Amino acid sequence: MYLGVDVGGTNTKLGVVDEAGTFVLETSFRTTAYSSADHFLSALEGEINRLISLLNSQIKGIGLGAPSADYRTGTITNAANLGWTGKLDIKQYLEKAIGSVIRVTNDANLPAIGEMTYGAAKGMQNFITISLGTGLGSGVVCNGSLVAGHHGMAGELGHAIVDPNGRICGCGRRGCLETYVSATGLKRTVFDLLAQQNGGQSTMMEYSFQELTADQITSAALDGDQIAIDALEITGTTLGKALANVLCLIDPEAIFLVGGMAYAGELLFKPTRKAMKENMLNNFNSEVEIRPSLLPLDRLSVLGACGLISGLKKTQSAINTMN
């Protein structure tokens, strides 16, 4: 059995899977319910111990992904989408508290590990996963190995600047891609459109910014709400342009769009493909596919966290210093 933890900006998800990647147990709690790192760690420790106590067999280890996590040190430092600042030594804390093997990585890597261990990227040597959640993260696999980078921060596509005078980002800079392409960015686009068009007949007028969710926007778009449809098209177009630049650096076989926003389906995928094709280097000849995951989107990151342990050989070049 393998235990995976996905620390998200809104929720923290935990799951236990077997060798085949089948879920045996799972749970979650709100990350935002804890105003300090100490309180969060205590809650996480309690949930891990609770799951372990329900098993009839021992776990072989715990994989954990979190924003701004460094696989070399097992620490989380000044994560833009978490409510704490400073350095949090989550690996050391859990090793001492749980007494199990702990491996840590940036949460943006989890979908890539999940896809290469259990999903549609099995056997692929070069691919990218784009995670569209509270923020935007990306996992990069080149020549069969997960790319971590010198600081363990490779794949921070969400913080590539697409407009130097653009929206303020949680990282403190302006115009980062995730301020336009993420659940939060999508909401900001909706409200920009509402302001420009004075609302019109959109059901989006019924919500405050705090109340509105990406799921509600997707549902409204599927029901024909033009503001919601336009917002998803703008989001996809912005992402497609950014991916056209990524192709020149990575040359992937496929790009997987994952995370909650991927439930929008072709409302998001179609403008993304179109913009990437229109802006990419001609040498690629439209051969790079933008694909959905074949794994359940709400479990993909937890599967990736489990893959840190179960798929160790496949990701060894990126995580071999976490022991």
Distance CA 303, CA 173 (A): 32
Q: Which of 71-80, 139-148, 189-198 has the weakest average pLDDT?
A: 71-80
Q: Is the pLDDT of residue 248 over 50?
A: yes
Mean pLDDT of the chain: 90
Q: Which one is the CATH code of 2-112+298-319: 1.10.3720.10, 3.40.50.300, 3.90.1150.10, 3.30.420.40?
A: 3.30.420.40
Number of Cα atoms under 13 Å in the Cβ half of residue 138: 27
Per-residue pLDDT of 137-192, as tens digits, reads: 899 999 998 888 877 778 889 999 999 999 999 889 999 999 999 999 999 999 99
Please report which residue ranges of the chain form alpha helices under DSSP H.
37-53, 90-98, 110-118, 183-197, 214-222, 226-250, 266-279, 300-310, 316-319
Instruction: Tell me, yes or no, if the two domains 2-112+298-319 and 124-292 fold the same way.
Output: yes
Model confidence pLDDT, tens digit, residues 40-51: 999 999 999 999
* pLDDT beyond 70 at 195: yes
Looking at residue 199, its pLDDT comes to 60
How confident is the model over 10-45, as pLDDT tens digits? 899 999 999 889 999 999 999 999 988 999 999 999
**CATH number for the 124-292 domain, one of 3.40.50.720, 3.40.50.300, 3.30.1360.70, 3.30.420.40?**
3.30.420.40
Mean pLDDT (whole number) for 252-281: 94
pLDDT for res 286: 67
Give the start-to-end residue ranges of the domains of the chain: 2-112+298-319, 124-292
Q: Is the pLDDT of residue 323 over 80?
A: no
Averaged pLDDT, 58-63: 93
Judge whether residue 72 has pLDDT over 50: yes
Spatial separation of the C-alpha atoms in residues 184 and 196, rounded to whole Å: 19
